[in-house]
Structure 1
Amino acid sequence: MIDNDITFRKLEIFLAFMDKRNISRTADLLGLSTVSVHRALHTLEESVRCPLFIHQGRNLSPIPAAETLAEYAREVVGLMKRGIEETRKSGGVGQGRLKLGTLYSLTLDTVPRLIMGLKLRRPNLELELQMGSNQDLLLRLEDQQLDAILLSVSDTQIDPARFETLPLFNDDIFLAVPASAAHIVNGPADLRDFKDEKFVSLTEGFATYHGFQEAFHIAGFEPHIVTRVNDIFSMVNLVQAGVGCTLLPGRMKKIHDPAFRMLPLAAPYQMRQTIALVFARNREHDPDLLALLAEGRMYALGRRTSEAQAAPSLTAETSGRPGL
């Protein structure tokens, strides 16, 4: 029976020592202390229940029994490494293909910029992009149908024991109205002033759905929803066509169209989404995901820098206005 204390790590240290024949050089090679190397060799010898080394002065020298163990250890460790490689291939890990899930709205800016940066880091990476609601994306990630997802984590329960989360940016929610709407204000919009307006909404499970419900709960009335849709671009099209108003994240301002306007919400209704990159903790060493994570950090840093640079100029613009 194999002793529980015989581990692959100890065998790797043992094989490195058999190559170097010196504890200090073995420690340098593996980035360990000499004490750790000596302890690994000593406990391995105890677990094998057979002498493997002799002391010659201050040096430790292998005897023929150690050479025999090394022969089999190389075979076992090599076989295990090949087994892990094949396992990763079967699991689609580190094979130059990444399945990324995202909210529809993030395809306006965030996703293209991440993809461009990722392709510079890993030119041969094949990227498959899938879009869906917050709820749908998280379910597909849990079922391992996706390798990583981009979604709003503000109203989503992410299990920290299973998933890593990298926040990318925060996004405020606005009231989107057709340009022809009766109530268009220059300042923050009070939802109570839009009580008689018609509204369009996303279906349950999307990032803005919960906020939509909460905002009108605070406003104290049930909005007249004329239709519900399954993607944010269809909702924008309906607003542009004058079908109704809705709530949209600020990132949708990139759609420059005079047919609709996005108004800031008054203080009681203000909401903010946190957009984040989420992936499974057990995939944190996947080189493709590490590249995506690095690009995500660069994107987040760029957003923070841009916002910090914009803040002083905004303050300068408003500081001279009476009453501000």
Structure 2
Amino acid sequence: MELRALRYFVEVVRQQSFTVAAEQMHVTQPTISKMVKALEDEIGSPLLLRDGRQMVLTDAGRIVYQRGQDVLAAQAQLQAELNDLGTLGRGELTVGIPPLGGSLFTPAIAAFKARYPRIELKLFEQGARKIEEALVAGELELGGVLEPVDPAVFDVLPMVRAPLWLVAPHGSRWDADATVPLADLANEPFVFYAESLALHDAVLDACRKVGFTPQIVSRSGHWDFMAALVHAGVGIALLPEPYCRRLDAAQFTCRPIVEPEITWAIAIGWLKKGYLSHAARAWLDVARETGPVDPGDDLAFGSLRAR
């Protein structure tokens, strides 16, 4: 069984699209299709069935997908260990950075580059959910994850912990309130998190637990754009408190969400049973020195302000 064919098949299942998988793997769609077909021929059974726009795994496909991820992760770990035989003074390291919490990593990035200038630091900029998948698949050694994560799978280094606040246009009905119960937002239009972000599911679950499903009118993975949409009157949003404090109080009403409080907790995660290269361990050492991050620290979050 060719590893390349297995890798293409796993990516097709992840992306639920031959086209998107081809883009991610930097090959043509016919190449992906041909390799998956060859894999099916070798196994002697179909692996994927189309159900409208969705791709459904057959019984054989489910086994190949699950075991294939293990094989690819083991291959990636083997390659990492072989590459790590050299010295720490050179090489490369890829770190997963979630878009919403990217500024949290700025102090660590700056300190790491100053200490190890010959190590090329690559950033994998995806939502925490995608970062978790990449860690499990062995495509990343380290990355920003949203806690809680499965402690049997991941070890973590906490970076920041902060509550989510309501963000509404100034002059809204919450101006005089000290806090806002989540259920009070049941009939409001929401500027929501992109589905690729772990906060999407966290907020959605919290809303459903208090009896409503949010009326989503727009989605984004960037807090400043979400705030701009709120200011334009598109809807309300729930943003981490550190970002809310950077919004202009003359333009926005920001209040803590209660009943329940929703927590945004970002950590650096890595596989509990995975291999960490010298560069990855050096990154963790630097991150421990520069963090955890104080949510009120302007050096970490910058003086950003939605306009």
TM-score (norm 1): 0.58
Match of 1:227 in 2: 218
Whether the 8 Å contact between 1:240 and 1:260 is mirrored in structure 2 is yes
Quick one: structure 1 residues 135 and 87, their matched pair in 2 at CA, closer, same or farther if it must change by over 3 Å? closer
Q: Residue 102 in 1 paired to residue 97 in 2?
A: yes
Listed as ranges, the matches of 1:78-93 within 5 Å are 88-89=82-83
> Unpaired segments of 5 or more residues in structure 2?
1-77, 298-307
SS of aligned partner of 1:278: strand
Match of 1:151 in 2: 145
The higher radius of gyration belongs to 1
> How many angstroms does 1:195 deviate by?
3.5
User: Cα deviations across residues 34-76 of structure 1 (Å, max 9, x unaligned)?
Assistant: xxxxxxxxxxxxxxxxxxxxxxxxxxxxxxxxxxxxxxxxxxx
Match of 2:134 in 1: 140
Listed as ranges, the matches of 1:28-47 within 5 Å are none
In structure 2, what residue type is equivalent to 1:263? R
SS of aligned partner of 1:288: helix
> How many angstroms does 1:297 deviate by?
1.4
Distance in 1 (alpha carbons) for counterparts of 2:295 and 2:226:
29
Match of 1:239 in 2: 230
Match of 2:156 in 1: 165
Quick one: structure 1 residues 114 and 185, their matched pair in 2 at CA, closer, same or farther if it must change by over 3 Å? farther
Quick one: structure 1 residues 304 and 104, their matched pair in 2 at CA, closer, same or farther if it must change by over 3 Å? closer
The one of 229, 240, 244 equivalent to 1:249 is: 240
Aligned residues with identical type, % of pairs = 23
The one of 173, 186, 194 equivalent to 1:182 is: 173
Residues matched between the structures, number: 217
Listed as ranges, the matches of 1:248-267 within 5 Å are 248-253=239-244, 255-258=246-249, 259-266=251-258
In structure 1, what residue type is equivalent to 2:289? M
> How many angstroms does 1:115 deviate by?
0.5
> Unpaired segments of 5 or more residues in structure 1?
1-83, 307-324
Distance in 1 (alpha carbons) for counterparts of 2:136 and 2:168:
36
> How many angstroms does 1:93 deviate by?
9.5
Quick one: structure 1 residues 277 and 226, their matched pair in 2 at CA, closer, same or farther if it must change by over 3 Å? same
Quick one: structure 1 residues 151 and 254, their matched pair in 2 at CA, closer, same or farther if it must change by over 3 Å? farther
Greater share of helix residues, 1 or 2?
A: 1
In structure 1, what residue type is equivalent to 2:226? M
Match of 2:34 in 1: none
Q: Residue 282 in 1 paired to residue 274 in 2?
A: yes
Distance in 2 (alpha carbons) for counterparts of 1:288 and 1:90:
8
Q: Residue 122 in 1 paired to residue 113 in 2?
A: no
Whether the 8 Å contact between 2:163 and 2:262 is mirrored in structure 1 is yes
Distance in 2 (alpha carbons) for counterparts of 1:181 and 1:86:
54
Match of 1:270 in 2: 261
Distance in 2 (alpha carbons) for counterparts of 1:208 and 1:87:
33
Distance in 1 (alpha carbons) for counterparts of 2:174 and 2:197:
27
Distance in 2 (alpha carbons) for counterparts of 1:98 and 1:277:
14
In structure 2, what residue type is equivalent to 1:265? I
> How many angstroms does 1:143 deviate by?
2.2
Distance in 2 (alpha carbons) for counterparts of 1:300 and 1:202:
26
Distance in 2 (alpha carbons) for counterparts of 1:220 and 1:92:
56
In structure 2, what residue type is equivalent to 1:188? T
The one of 172, 185, 197 equivalent to 1:194 is: 185
TM-score (norm 2): 0.61
